[in-house]
């Protein structure tokens, strides 16, 4: 956030330990697999930024520049979610670092890899009232897997290669991923000429760098072997991915898959799982639960995982172990023992699921009626077809339309809005890559996260973001992409009901007065989203009917698009 600069333009020094250290550090990170660097410009971080620009010139990395460090952090989060490889965020000192905190917390609680390279003042300027200086080394507390206050570079900078190796392994090299923070104090001169070895474009000592990283990698955990016997269900929360679907298939277990899990596909998916968990013959007979990912969307699942009479086994995926019942067992990996599956158990859940499937797909045209020679029959068929395409959108039809338009080569990002709960309730199984910031379930950073996911896979499908109006407005600044930045193929679909109607379903709605509810909970607004889109040079479309939504979603996507869907409260 801080952009302090000298009042006079200084020429770069011919020799700068800061530049040498920055080059050594970034060269090692790129050698280990980092392919995306996100820079927020600043003075103290200029050596890192110029080294990043040189790597972009050499086409060794993709560089992204963001004015707002909060957007930079969530862009890195989206890249890490999509690729499972950390992006590195570069920023200057002071409040710039603090603006990374929301993305850091989300990465920590979701198990997403990320590397922070934060420039700082040298030790002699800390705690003495120096400008733009605060306690950066401990800023993120327990939310990092590695936090190092690096030495000030001077003389040999070999240790910065070692710091890169440690940061990469801590962030991405273990079964649970997360955030590594390197705080980098620099003395003037803050930038100098790029070293010849770095400008040549070849990695320095790649075999040694990779060898050092391998030496730090832990041995993979031995899998926990699960007997088939107990009546078991598989619960898939956010970021569970295909592992949950595969495991439910191997065990022949019912699959309770949140819509944000990326696991909602296959023959074991349970439709309307909330209701199933309330059935004594189904949810009431569960003896064991296997959990993948981070489940957060339903109170019914939370109650299930809190029951002390159930054996809960959680696959380690985040930096905060799941243990709602006080006796949950953690497992790095699991496998299913040979033996007969409980066919009656899985069949009972399948019958419930089939009986409770929700079908929101539009009816097929009456081809016979439309071709009829009887005027009345043909007119009735035409009217039915017009009624279908003119159907006014509600939340269920909106989420269904987006789900129907999205395929395995695309990706879908859900915001923490009312719409994600509607989607979780009504959408059927379909193999679609899904992301959502459910580590802490905040509304911040949703657009930047999706942009990061889109930028990391620019040649694959379309990235769609489905979120409410407040989540959109909270991250509207992330619509800004500086000139020269790649403009991803992304559709941001905003369900706009003019405020935070998710609160209508919470306890506050039953106790607050109408005026108090509007004042401190709903945050009503009259923002013109079309004007906002124009200001940031995004294409804009508005859809009020099913036909208009289908047209907007299926039109060719050449760059960023904003699709507004007005909704009633």
* CA-CA-CA-CA dihedral for 228, 233, 234, 235, to nearest 10: -160
CA distance 547 to 393: 9
For 431, what's the count of Cα atoms within 13 Å in the CB-facing half-sphere?
Answer: 9
pLDDT reported for residue 516: 86
Q: Which residues of 364-392 are buried (b: 16+ CB within 10 A; e: fewer)?
A: eebeebeeeeeeeebeebeeebeebeeee
- Show the low-confidence residues of the chain (pLDDT under 70): 1-14, 387
* Closest CA relative to residue 563, chosen from 487, 469, 486, 434: 469
Contact 302, 277 (CB under 8 A): no
| Structure tokens that stand for 365 in this block | 């045209």
pLDDT in tens, 172-229: 988 899 999 999 999 999 999 999 999 999 999 999 999 999 999 988 888 999 998 8
CA distance 406 to 235: 23
Contact 490, 462 (CB under 8 A): yes
pLDDT reported for residue 161: 96
When the pLDDT of each residue in the chain is averaged and rounded to a whole number, the result is 92
pLDDT reported for residue 284: 96
pLDDT reported for residue 10: 46
Contact 78, 450 (CB under 8 A): yes
CA distances (Å), 8 to each of 4, 5, 11, 433, in order? 12, 8, 10, 50
**Structural domains of the chain, ranges and CATH numbers in brackets:** 17-216 (3.40.50.970), 224-355 (3.40.50.1220), 390-566 (3.40.50.970)
Start-to-end CA distance of the chain, whole Å, equals 37
Residue owning tokens 């992204």: 64
pLDDT reported for residue 12: 45
pLDDT reported for residue 175: 83
pLDDT in tens, 68-83: 999 999 999 999 999 9
CA distance 478 to 492: 12
CB atoms within 10 A of CB 336: 20
Q: What residues contact 383, with CB distance under 8 A and at least 6 apart?
A: none
CB atoms within 10 A of CB 59: 8
* Closest CA relative to residue 243, chosen from 317, 174, 176: 317
């Amino acid at each position: 956030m801080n952009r302090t600069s000298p009042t006079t333009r200084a020429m770069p020094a011919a020799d700068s330990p800061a530049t040498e250290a920055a080059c050594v550090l970034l060269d090692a990170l790129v050698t280990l697999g980092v392919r995306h660097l996100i820079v927020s410009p600043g003075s103290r971080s200029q050596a890192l930024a110029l080294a990043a620009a040189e790597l972009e010139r050499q086409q060794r990395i993709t560089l992204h520049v963001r004015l707002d460090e909060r957007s930079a952090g969530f862009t890195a989060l989206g890249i890490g979610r999509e690729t499972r490889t950390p992006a590195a965020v570069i920023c200057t000192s002071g409040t710039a670092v603090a603006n990374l905190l929301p993305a850091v917390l989300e990465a920590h609680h979701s198990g997403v890899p990320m590397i922070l390279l934060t420039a700082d003042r040298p030790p002699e300027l800390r705690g003495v009232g120096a400008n733009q200086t605060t306690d950066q080394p401990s800023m993120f507390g327990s939310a990092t897997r590695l936090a190092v206050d690096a030495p000030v570079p001077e003389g040999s900078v070999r240790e910065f290669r070692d710091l890169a190796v440690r940061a990469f392994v801590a962030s991405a090299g273990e079964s649970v991923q997360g955030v590594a923070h390197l705080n980098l104090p620099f003395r003037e001169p803050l930038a100098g000429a790029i070293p010849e070895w770095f400008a040549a474009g070849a990695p320095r000592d790649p075999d040694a760098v990779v060898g050092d990283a391998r030496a730090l990698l832990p041995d993979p955990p031995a899998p926990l072997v699960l007997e088939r016997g107990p009546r078991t269900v598989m619960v898939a929360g956010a970021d569970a991915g295909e592992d949950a679907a595969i495991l439910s298939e191997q065990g022949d277990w019912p699959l309770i898959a949140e819509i944000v899990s990326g696991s909602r596909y296959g023959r074991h998916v349970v439709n309307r799982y909330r209701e199933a968990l309330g059935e004594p013959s189904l949810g009431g007979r569960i003896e064991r639960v296997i959990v993948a990912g981070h489940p957060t969307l339903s109170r019914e699942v939370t109650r299930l995982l809190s029951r002390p009479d159930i054996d809960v086994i959680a696959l380690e995926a985040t930096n905060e172990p799941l243990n709602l019942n006080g006796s949950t067992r953690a497992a790095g990996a699991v496998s299913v023992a040979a033996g007969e599956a409980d066919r009656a158990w899985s069949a009972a859940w399948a019958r419930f699921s089939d009986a409770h499937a929700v079908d929101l797909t539009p009816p097929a045209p009456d081809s016979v009626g439309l071709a009829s020679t009887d005027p009345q029959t043909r007119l009735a068929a035409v009217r039915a077809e017009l009624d279908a395409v003119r159907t006014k959108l509600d939340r269920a039809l909106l989420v269904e339309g987006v789900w129907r338009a999205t395929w395995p080569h695309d990706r879908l990002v859900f915001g923490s809005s009312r719409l994600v709960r509607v989607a979780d309730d009504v959408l059927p199984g379909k193999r679609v890559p899904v992301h959502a910031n459910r580590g802490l379930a905040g509304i911040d950073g949703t657009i930047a996260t999706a942009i990061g996911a889109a930028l990391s896979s620019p040649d694959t499908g379309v990235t769609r973001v489905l979120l409410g109006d407040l989540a959109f407005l909270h991250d509207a600044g992330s619509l800004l992409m500086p000139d020269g930045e790649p403009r991803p193929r992304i559709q941001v679909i905003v369900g706009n009901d003019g405020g935070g109607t998710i609160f209508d379903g919470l306890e506050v709605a039953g106790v607050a007065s109408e005026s108090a509810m509007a004042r401190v909970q709903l945050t009503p607004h009259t923002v013109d989203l079309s004007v906002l889109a124009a200001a940031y040079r995004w294409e804009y479309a508005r859809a009020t009917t099913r036909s208009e939504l289908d047209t907007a979603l299926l039109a060719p996507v050449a760059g960023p698009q904003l699709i507004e869907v007005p909704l009633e409260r």
